[in-house]
Structure 1
Amino acid sequence: MGQPAINEQKSIPIKKKKSQRFKDFYKKFKKNKAAVIGAILIFLFILISIIGPFFVPYDPGAVSPTNKLEPPSSDHWFGTDHHGRDIFSRIIKGMSYTLFVGFSSVFLGLIVGTLLGIISGYYGGRTDSFIMRCMDVLLAFPGILLALAIVSVLGGSLRNVIIAIAVFSVPVFARIVRGSTLAVRKLEYIDAIKALGASDSRIIFKHILPNTISPLIVQATLTIATAILTASGLSFLGLGAKPPTPEWGAMLSDGRNYLYQAPHVAFYPGMAIVIVVIAFNILGDGLRDAFDPKSKK
């Protein structure tokens, strides 16, 4: 009769502790107005990328030579490009490509980096040395140059851009997870679990991986901004999306030839890239402050 009561008393503080952690995170995040605005903008971008293409005023790929390079007006809110295509419709359509590349490339890099980081930190020894030296080699190259080299070898396409960005994202996630794994592996309760006969996979996925979630969420948010900027840069150079795909970097590349004649062709795709990247950056900064237990703001 006494033992169940003890277990019940122990379970209540744990639930309260988890609930309190979430409340503390929410209070800190809510106080950061910039981060809240960034989160709202990203939610709107995702929503627009899903439903926006069904409600655009014009076909993003429809060519109209008689309406080319028209300035912004009530008919064409952002004007038209050199083929007479509606820029507003193309930006809305291109948002889905941009966000897809950003999320999918970071997701791939996150999965691979997390696995490598956990294996490296948990098993240590030669395994750790080999994996970390490989990560050091990748980190020796600037991200955009490494992505440029990979896309140059594989060929220009959105799929290869995703692969290239995922590759240079892996070392960052691997190092974060390795550091968290090394810290958790030394705790006494991990030794106790091992003594009870728990398998390595159970220890890794049930006790170590959850401790890496917070820094991974922050890093993933910041890396998405870098991924979007890199993907746009590769498309600007002609190594990403191919015409007539309405990808923002490719649209910006088309508009550079008309900067004096029709600056709106380059201005609106460029501003779309800037706004999305800033939104992800300020959200990432807000998440980092909210997850930081030492932060009092």
Structure 2
Amino acid sequence: MRLFKNLNKDWLAILSLIIVAVTIIFGIFAPLLSPHDPEEVNMQLRYAASSWEYLLGNDHLGRCILSRLIYGIRPSVLWVLVALLVSIIIGATLGFISGYFRGKVDTFIMRICDVMLSFPGYVMTLAVVGVLGVGLENIIIAFILMKWAWFARVFRTSVMQYAELDYVKFSKAAGISDVKIIYKHIILVTFPDIAVISSSSIGSMILQLSGFSFLGLGIQAPNAEWGMMLNEARKVMFSRPELMLAPGLAIIIVVSAFNFLSDAIQVALDPKLTISKDKVQAIPAASKIKRQEEEVAK
């Protein structure tokens, strides 16, 4: 409740939330909302300008750009959300186990994380694609392999912070099982960290997927994806630059919305940031009141 209450005070957060929600809805119901078949080729409409039937025009094969843009939400956003969710589940589970039980379990899990994090993310992704081949599925697998270790380390640090609190120690001394302690006392207090970290990662993952598709390593034709649409329009970027406008703006708007929403969630869930923000806003008001009192006294 506090999260939504604080978000209602930030118009940029509300706008970002609306953009994210509309994007996800359009992606889920793409077959119902897209005006045309995104893979239908019509060479008579090759590079046709926008019209009432084709609002964003047609590409080099006469395909509807708007329909391909809507269908492109699925690999560009929805499948990235699936990869993020799987990474969070794996990383959070191992992070909770490592940070709560410590000892040899912690050492073993953290050594695996060190090995995984020793490789740069793009190098790891390229290695997976080189072994398994190009395609969206392999990019998703690479994202999961690349992200879970980072999530595990971050969640471990958060759990270690709360596992040493007095009420957790009292629960252990009272004989309450570790599962109940983790569920009732650890997960709830670490939820803000999970929400902030998760929301801040989605934007970079969307950019990475679009970048790999732009290079020809992601989703393959004739399927629609924003990065691949940019790659297809790159050949005529000087003669018909408007073809790059739709997918480029889609990437910028959606990634910016996720980033702004992430910042708003962090402020809404962290009382310290909220208090600091209120104090900063209260300083000019307090100074004004003080000046008015001085003028009255004179």
What is the TM-score of this pair, normalised by structure 2? 0.87
Q: Out of 115, 133, 148, which is 1:155 matched to?
A: 133
- Partner residue, 2:50: 72
Q: Does 1:146 align with 2:124?
A: yes
Residue of structure 1 aligned with 2:255, choices 272, 277, 280: 277
Q: 2: distance between equivalents of 1:172 and 1:290?
A: 24
Give deviations 1:210-258, integer Å, cap 9, x for gaps: 2211111111111111111111111112111111000111111111111
Amino acid across the alignment from 2:102: G
1:128 Cα shift?
1.8
Cα deviation, 1:53-81, whole Å, max 9, x if unaligned, reads: 31322211100111111233333221111
Offset, 1:159: 1.5
Alignment correspondent of 1:175: 153
In the other structure, the counterpart of 1:235 is 213
Alpha-carbon distance in structure 1 between the residues aligned to 2:67 and 2:227: 15
Q: Does the Cα contact within 8 Å between 1:256 and 1:266 map onto a contact in 2?
A: yes
Structure 1 CA distance, aligned partners of 2:242 and 2:114? 42
Partner of 1:232, secondary structure, is helix
Match of 2:86 in 1: 108
- In the alignment, is residue 210 of structure 1 matched against residue 178 of structure 2? no
Q: Distance in 1 between matches of 2:253 and 2:268?
A: 22
Aligned to 1:98: 76
Tell me which moved more, 255-264 or 61-70.
Answer: 255-264
CA contact (8 A) 2:27 2:78 kept: no
SS at match of 2:40: coil
- CA positional deviation for 1:39: 0.6
- 2:203 equivalent in structure 1: 225
Task: Give the 4+ runs in structure 1 shifted more than 3 A.
Answer: none
Per-residue CA deviations over 1:134-191 (Å, capped at 9, x if unaligned) read 3233333332332222222222122211111122221332122112211221122222
CA distance in 2, matches of 1:133, 1:27: 41
> Partner letter of residue 165 of structure 2?
L
For 2:130 and 2:245, the matched residues in 1 are separated by: 28
Q: 1:16: which partner in 2?
A: none
Work out which of the residue numbers 224, 246, 255 in structure 2 matches 1:246: 224
Per the alignment, in what secondary structure is the counterpart of residue 258 of structure 1? coil
Aligned length: 275
Partner residue in 1 for 2:19: 41
Question: For 1:89-144, what per-residue CA distance to the aligned partner results, in whole angstroms no more than 9, with x for missing partners?
Answer: 11011112222221101001100110111111112123223322332333333323
1 CA distance for matches of 2:98 and 2:191? Answer: 17
Residue 38 of structure 2: aligned partner: 60
Distance in 2 between the 1:30 and 1:150 partners?
A: 42
RMSD: 1.7
Distance in 2 of aligned mates of 1:111 and 1:50: 22
Report if aligned partners of 1:105, 1:227 keep a CA contact under 8 Å in 2: no
TM-score by length of 1: 0.87
Is the Cα contact below 8 Å between 1:102 and 1:225 reproduced in 2?
Answer: no
**Structure-2 residue corresponding to 1:12:** none
Select 1:292's aligned residue among 266, 270, 288.
270
Query: Secondary structure at the residue paired with 2:75?
Result: helix
CA distance in 1, matches of 2:192, 2:157: 13
Report if the CA contact (8 A) 2:209-2:218 is conserved.
yes
2:65 aligned to 87, 90, 93, which one?
87
Distance 2:115 2:252 in 1: 30
